[in-house]
């Protein structure tokens, strides 16, 4: 080789699998929770909504420990040393998780105690601590304790005959240090009191003895104040609240004969999985919390000492209890699609419009409910097939399926019993549908059914007509008011045939068949997305304009991240809107400098998954139930459907990408440093928040 011809380090082809170019999944999830907390810290957000965001950040952190930290700790117990795509071993992950989680918890309580409590008090919403009670209030609390609490509390003395009790996951408990002998002459110096889950953690004090109509006391304060009443004749030396978080991921063998029965057997065990975190009051002395750590087999990094209630999430009840609209987001009315009349046939409406697109929560979920209700009673309906992942209690969707089955329609429901934390509700739904005469399947062994599909089969004038609904979110009327999702209703023959074939796969047996329009995980979705990314890269190399825009909840899959890096290097402009976990590192010179990543968060939970490819001017646009994670591509049944109508395509591009990429108030940009920075409008730029713009657009 001629002198000087060897490539310098900057010119060499980078190894795109280098851990330097990836962000650890667990740390990215903690960063997402940090962004939720930032919304609670935002003084421009209505006060009670700030409290709600704080509660959401605490609930998210609970689930993070129950599932993600539990997984890392299991790897530690198995002595696994394999590095993740970001180059971290399980022990390195655990160390960084602990540091960031402790900082997050510290900031949650700082915000609550030093910002939100004083602000709420200034608006006449009070949380009275024991030290603040006057004589009249203390007397009321004493009466409440004796009337409502003492009959249901069971103090457990710790001695050879009474070992340390089993502590339920995330339950409120108290450990009490005692002195003296009881009636039997026992000299135990420790006891535990468990607060039943049925007890409210926030108690409203009567208005006539309170500084305002919205005055509350914590259950923990009431128990602390009267713990002596549970140990007559003994001296209470200390009372300290604690809470343990446990591994809550259910493990059910895939080859069991009856998945429903197996899950029913596993659900009670969830509350007693391996311990992963201990929360204690910050006044708890070392000898007490070390005793608890020993009992729960936890280490110092798993201990969280807090200044306040050990479960801030329970403060969510206050948002509902306080009737102060001026301290909440302004109410809005969900809109119906143009020309839609709920009193007329929705199937005629679909036929007239060819394709009906709904953007929740800005547009109502009611047409989807009517789609099922009218199908249940329509004389032409032969069959209804539907996937159910989460439906919620008292679901009008389930009501419609039950009515259809009782009316003699062929009803098939593919219910994913393993939808995390909804297992019990889904078992109840499955049982109810079976009792009504519906055929219920639990999907495919080894794969969760996460696709959102409904198929209505009608016989019209001696021919079969299929109508379908495909969505990015669950068939849950409650979350349809709080999550952003797209739903498409159509009588398109090819899409109807594809959905029919997909249901045949879910309920029957046979080889995977090629679908004409749908991309389906685990068979064609991954390869279909990779092919389109590579096509954009080819266009860029040919000197054509190349553009990829993607919106999703999580971007984790390493192989597809590498494909995006290759496309970036080829010159493709890539704009990503990723609400939560993003393991891709943008803006790295020579690797991802053409990739821009932002997270947009606000009043509603961003949940739409939309994939756009410029394709040399012949644009392709897809909506999907799937995020870009290994499980969605390879271990779930997912559906990705094209938006082919030119007008609807323009509409989704405007509502999903144009609007969200202009957000300068509720958007966080991911920097090459792997840190997020919240955008702020400049002095000359108007404030733009995507969700607010959409509310205005649909109003």
Q: Is 273 exposed, middle or buried (0-12, 13-18, 19+ CB in 10 A)?
A: middle
d(CA 441, CA 508): 10
503 touches 444 (CB < 8 A): no
- Three-class SS state of 162: strand
Q: Where are the beta strands (DSSP E) in 74-194?
A: 125-127, 155-157, 173-179, 190-194
CA angle, corner 536, sides to 532 and 540, nearest 5?
165
All residues at 6 or more sequence positions from 16 whose CB lies less than 8 Å from its CB, including other chains? 562, 565, 566, 591
d(CA 580, CA 555): 8
d(CA 535, CA 516): 19
β-strands 173-179, 190-194 pairing:
antiparallel
Burial 576-602 (b: 16+ CB within 10 A, else e): bbbbbbbbbbbbbeebbebbbbbbbbb
d(CA 111, CA 98): 20
Written as one string, the DSSP assignment of 369-383 is HHHHHHHHH-TTEEE
- Of the candidates 358, 356, 335, 359, the one whose C-alpha atom is nearest the C-alpha of residue 347 is 356
The active-site residue, picked from 360, 450, 469, 539, is 450
d(CA 275, CA 254): 25
3-state secondary structure 465-522: EEEEEEECCCCCCCHHHCEEEEEEEECCHHHHHHHHHHHHHHHCCCCCCCCCCCEEEC
Quick check: bond before 233 cis, omega within 30? Answer: no
d(CA 54, CA 345): 44
CA atoms within 13 A of residue 370's CA, in its CB half-sphere? 17
Work out whether the CA dihedral 658, 664, 666, 667 comes out positive or negative.
positive
All residues at 6 or more sequence positions from 536 whose CB lies less than 8 Å from its CB, including other chains? 546, 547, 548, 567, 572, 613, 614, 615
Give the H or E element holding residue 455. Answer: strand 453-460
Work out whether the CA dihedral 229, 231, 236, 241 comes out positive or negative.
negative
Give bridge partners of residue 668 from the DSSP assignment.
Answer: 599, 678
CA R_g for the chain: 28
- Whether 313 is catalytic is no
Q: Is 152 exposed, middle or buried (0-12, 13-18, 19+ CB in 10 A)?
A: exposed
3-state helix, strand, coil in the chain (%, to 5): 40, 20, 35
* Residues, the chain: 699
User: What angle do the packed helices 47-63 and 25-41 form, to 10 degrees?
Assistant: 160
The catalytic site residues sit at 450
């Amino acid at each position: 080789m001629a002198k000087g011809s060897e490539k310098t380090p900057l010119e060499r082809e980078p190894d795109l699998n280098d851990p330097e170019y990836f962000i650890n999944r667990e740390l990215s999830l903690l960063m997402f929770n940090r962004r939720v907390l930032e919304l609670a810290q935002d003084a421009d957000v209505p006060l009670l909504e700030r409290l709600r965001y704080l509660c959401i950040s605490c609930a998210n952190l609970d689930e993070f420990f129950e599932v993600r930290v539990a997984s890392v700790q299991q790897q530690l117990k198995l002595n696994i040393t394999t590095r993740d795509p970001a180059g971290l071993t399980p022990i390195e992950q655990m160390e960084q998780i602990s540091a960031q989680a402790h900082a997050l918890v510290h900031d949650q309580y700082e915000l609550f105690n030093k910002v939100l409590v004083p602000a709420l008090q200034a608006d006449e919403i009070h949380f009275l601590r024991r030290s603040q009670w006057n004589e009249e209030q203390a007397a009321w609390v004493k009466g409440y304790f004796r009337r409502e609490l003492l009959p249901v509390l069971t103090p457990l003395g710790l001695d050879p005959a009474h070992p340390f009790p089993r502590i339920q996951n995330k339950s409120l408990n108290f450990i009490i240090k005692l002195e003296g002998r009881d009636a039997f002459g026992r000299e135990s110096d420790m006891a535990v009191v468990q607060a039943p889950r049925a007890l409210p953690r926030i108690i409203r004090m009567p208005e006539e003895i309170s500084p305002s109509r919205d005055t509350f006391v914590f259950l923990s304060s009431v128990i602390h104040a009267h713990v002596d009443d549970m140990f007559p004749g003994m001296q209470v030396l200390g009372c300290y609240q604690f809470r343990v978080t446990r591994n809550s991921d259910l493990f059910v063998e895939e080859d069991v004969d009856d998945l429903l029965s197996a899950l029913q057997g596993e659900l009670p065990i969830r509350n007693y999985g391996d311990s992963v975190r201990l929360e204690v009051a910050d006044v708890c002395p070392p000898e007490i919390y070390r005793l608890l750590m020993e009992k729960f087999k936890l280490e110092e990094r798993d201990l969280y000492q807090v200044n306040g209630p050990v479960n801030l999430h329970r403060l969510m009840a206050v948002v509902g209890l306080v009737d102060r609209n001026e301290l909440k987001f302004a109410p809005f009315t969900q809109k119906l699609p143009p020309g839609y009349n709920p009193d007329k046939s929705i199937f005629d409406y679909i036929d007239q419009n060819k394709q009906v697109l709904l953007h929740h929560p800005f547009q109502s979920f009611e047409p989807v409910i009517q789609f099922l209700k009218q199908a249940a009673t329509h004389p032409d309906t032969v069959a209804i097939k539907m996937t159910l992942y989460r439906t919620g209690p008292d679901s009008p969707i389930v009501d419609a399926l039950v009515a259809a089955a009782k009316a003699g329609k062929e009803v098939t429901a593919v219910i994913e019993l393993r939808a995390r934390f909804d297992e019990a509700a889904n078992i109840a739904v499955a049982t109810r549908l079976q009792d009504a005469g519906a055929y219920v399947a639990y999907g495919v062994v080894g794969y969760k059914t996460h696709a959102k599909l409904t198929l209505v089969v009608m016989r019209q004038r001696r021919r079969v007509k299929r109508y379908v609904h495909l969505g990015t979110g669950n068939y849950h009327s409650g979350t349809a008011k709080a999550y952003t999702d797209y739903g498409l209703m159509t009588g398109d023959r090819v899409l109807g045939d594809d959905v029919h074939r997909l249901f045949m796969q879910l309920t029957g047996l046979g080889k995977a068949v090629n679908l004409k329009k749908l991309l389906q995980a685990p068979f064609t979705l991954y390869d279909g997305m990779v092919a389109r990314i590579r096509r954009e890269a080819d266009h860029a190399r040919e000197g054509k304009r190349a553009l990829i825009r993607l919106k999703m909840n999580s971007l984790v899959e390493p192989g597809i991240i590498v494909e995006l890096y290759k496309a970036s290097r080829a010159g493709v402009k890539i704009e990503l809107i990723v609400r939560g976990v993003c393991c891709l590192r943008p803006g790295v010179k020579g690797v991802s400098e053409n990739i821009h990543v932002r997270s947009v968060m606000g009043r509603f939970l961003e949940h739409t998954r939309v994939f756009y490819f410029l394709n040399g001017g012949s644009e392709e646009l897809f909506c999907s139930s799937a995020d870009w994670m290994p499980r969605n591509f390879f271990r779930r049944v997912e559906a990705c459907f094209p938006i082919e109508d030119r007008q609807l395509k323009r509409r989704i591009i405007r509502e999903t990408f144009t609007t969200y990429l202009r957000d300068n108030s509720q958007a966080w940009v991911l920097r090459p440093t792997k840190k997020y920075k919240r955008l702020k409008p400049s002095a000359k730029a108007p404030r733009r928040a995507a969700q607010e713009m959409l509310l205005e657009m649909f109003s």
